[in-house]
């Protein structure tokens, strides 16, 4: 095969004065002609063509030369030399490609004497035009207890070839890839209380083309009775139940099958549901509120549930939605009736596409008292 600037030299000397012609060929060097590469293939992703091949059974440490050309070119061009492989598998990444072109690649093994043995296969690969999805909307960050929930709009899905998102954590002038998800939500469990974390999001298409980063959003986790979260029973049963706790030393999130749970979260095709536990009942109607509890620093139009209803509770599942408060009548640790309230701030999905509910809650420590107030600090 003829290659631009790379051709084997064959010297033929005809000696008219002799009976026999003398043919001189380049010395292949130690070991003769090398074993040809096997199973050469090319794939494209994220602006790069990956050329792969396997070592032949008689490979003896020879290096490899990679040649490439567009299918519209007549000549081959020397692209790179690969001197090492891992576990009989070799890889070359070609980033010097242009969108909208089809390329083909030739891999040759080279002996110590310079003799090349070409691979039998010459793969072709089409490089698509680099056209990433739209930049995602600026994320909103819900600060939780030792966690942040990052969520954003679904505008990037307008791209026909949308694949997933990448979530980055900013650290001064640097940024780090925190994770990937195909959902518009990501739960950062590495965040710790008292720190402020900034996040931005990019969108990636099926060919690995990544959009620019979104505007940043930030959140500061803090230890309180705000920003609790439980998972859907059918996605993560062990973290789907909840029991009102009387102090900060008691974890309120329990297994969804725990007999002491006051409720658990369930989802189905009809929506999101609070399912009361064995010793609990839920007021069947949610209350539209602007906050869990309105205090002296609240806005003038703040709306909460200050007093729990004393009757009308049900032990059937209650449909829930965001920005509403739900009142429960439960049996407390003392075996007596207590009232509690939760306010749903977000219903969404994490990076594993597991459904979760984020909510604030308050619990009346005095048995039988319908006045709802957060536990004392």
Q: What is the DSSP string of 19-60?
A: SS-EEEE----TTSSPPPPEEEEEEEETTEEEEEEE--TT--
CB 8 within 8 Å of CB 113: no
Q: Which of 309, 340, 359, 325 is nearest to 246 (CA)?
A: 340
Whether residue 36 is contained in a domain is answered as: yes
Q: Say yes or no: 209 and 244 in one domain.
A: no
CB 347 within 8 Å of CB 321: yes
Among residues 193, 219, 245, the one where a domain terminates is: 219
pLDDT in tens, 72-125: 999 999 999 999 898 889 999 999 999 999 999 999 999 988 899 999 999 999
Q: What pLDDT band is residue 339 in, cutting at 50, 70 and 90?
A: very high
DSSP string, 96-159: ---TTEEEEEEEEEE-TTS-EEE-S---EEEE----PPPPPPPPEEEE-SS-EEEE--SGGGGS
Please state, for a pLDDT cut of 70, what percent of the chain lies above it.
90
Whether residue 87 is contained in a domain is answered as: yes
The whole-number average pLDDT for the span 349-361 is 96
| 28-51 residues labelled b (16+ CB within 10 A) or e (exposed) | beeeeebbbbbebebebeeeebeb
Q: Which of 241, 247, 325 is nearest to 279 (CA)?
A: 241
Can you give the pLDDT at residue 113?
87
CATH number, domain containing residue 212: 2.60.40.10
CB 187 within 8 Å of CB 231: no
Q: Say yes or no: 120 and 102 in one domain.
A: yes
Structure tokens at 130: 């680099």
> What is the rounded CA–CA span in Å between residue 226 and residue 144?
7
Can you give the pLDDT at residue 221?
86
Can you give the pLDDT at residue 249?
80
Can you give the pLDDT at residue 296?
63
Q: Are strands 263-268 and 241-242 parallel, antiparallel or unpaired?
A: antiparallel
Tell me how many domains the chain contains.
Answer: 3
Least confident of 2-6, 254-258, 337-341: 2-6
Q: Say yes or no: 346 and 249 in one domain.
A: yes
Q: Say yes or no: 38 and 82 in one domain.
A: yes
Whether residue 310 is contained in a domain is answered as: yes
Assess whether pLDDT exceeds 80 at residue 360: yes
Whether residue 375 is contained in a domain is answered as: no
The whole-number average pLDDT for the span 138-149 is 88
Can you give the pLDDT at residue 280?
98
- pTM beyond cutoff 0.95: no
> What is the rounded CA–CA span in Å between residue 75 and residue 69?
7
Q: Which of 34, 35, 39, 63 is nearest to 51 (CA)?
A: 39
Among residues 127, 148, 177, the one where a domain terminates is: 127
Can you give the pLDDT at residue 214?
97
Among residues 179, 202, 219, the one where a domain terminates is: 219
CB 125 within 8 Å of CB 44: yes
Can you give the pLDDT at residue 142?
86
Whether residue 96 is contained in a domain is answered as: yes
Q: Say yes or no: 162 and 258 in one domain.
A: no
Domain range holding 186?
A: 140-219
The whole-number average pLDDT for the span 305-334 is 96
> What is the rounded CA–CA span in Å between residue 290 and residue 343?
9
Neighbouring residues of 81: CB distance < 8 A, sequence distance ≥ 6: 63, 64, 65, 66, 110
Q: What pLDDT band is residue 377 in, cutting at 50, 70 and 90?
A: very low
Q: Compute CA distances 151 → 140, 245, 254, whole Å.
A: 5, 28, 25
Q: Say yes or no: 97 and 154 in one domain.
A: no
Q: Which residue has the higher pLDDT, 11 or 61?
A: 61
Whether residue 6 is contained in a domain is answered as: no
Whether residue 333 is contained in a domain is answered as: yes
Q: Say yes or no: 167 and 279 in one domain.
A: no
């Amino acid at each position: 095969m003829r290659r631009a600037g790379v051709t084997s030299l064959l010297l033929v000397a005809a000696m008219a004065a002799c009976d026999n012609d003398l043919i001189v060929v380049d010395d292949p060097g130690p070991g003769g002609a090398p074993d040809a590469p096997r199973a050469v293939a090319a794939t494209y992703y994220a602006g790069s063509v990956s050329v792969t091949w396997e070592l032949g059974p008689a490979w003896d440490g020879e290096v490899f030369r990679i040649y490439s050309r567009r299918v519209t070119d007549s000549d081959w061009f020397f692209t790179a030399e690969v001197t090492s492989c891992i576990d009989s598998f070799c890889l070359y990444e070609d980033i010097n490609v242009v969108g909208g072109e089809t390329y083909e690649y030739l891999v040759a093994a080279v002996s110590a004497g310079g003799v090349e043995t070409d691979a039998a296969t010459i793969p072709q690969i089409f490089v698509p035009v680099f056209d990433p999805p739209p930049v995602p909307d600026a994320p909103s960050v819900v600060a939780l207890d030792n966690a942040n929930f990052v969520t954003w709009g679904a505008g990037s899905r307008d791209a026909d070839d949308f694949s997933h998102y990448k979530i980055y954590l900013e650290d001064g002038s640097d940024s780090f890839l925190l994770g990937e998800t195909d959902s518009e939500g990501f739960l950062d469990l590495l965040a710790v209380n008292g720190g402020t974390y900034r996040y931005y999001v990019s969108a990636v298409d099926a060919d690995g083309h990544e959009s620019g980063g979104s505007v940043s959003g930030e959140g500061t986790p803090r230890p309180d009775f705000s920003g609790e979260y439980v998972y859907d029973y059918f996605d993560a049963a062990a973290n789907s139940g909840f029991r009102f706790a009387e102090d900060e030393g008691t974890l309120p999130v329990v297994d969804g099958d725990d007999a002491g749970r006051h409720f658990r979260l369930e989802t189905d095709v009809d929506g999101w549901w609070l399912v009361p536990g064995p010793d609990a009942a839920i007021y069947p109607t949610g209350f539209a509120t602007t906050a869990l509890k309105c205090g002296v620093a609240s806005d003038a139009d703040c709306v909460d549930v200050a007093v729990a209803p004393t009757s009308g509770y049900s032990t059937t599942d209650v449909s829930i939605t965001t920005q509403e408060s739900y009142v429960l009548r439960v049996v407390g640790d003392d075996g007596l009736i207590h009232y509690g309230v939760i306010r749903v701030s977000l219903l969404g999905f994490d990076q594993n596409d597991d459904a979760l509910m984020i909510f604030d809650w308050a619990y009346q420590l005095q048995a039988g008292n319908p006045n709802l107030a957060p536990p004392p600090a």
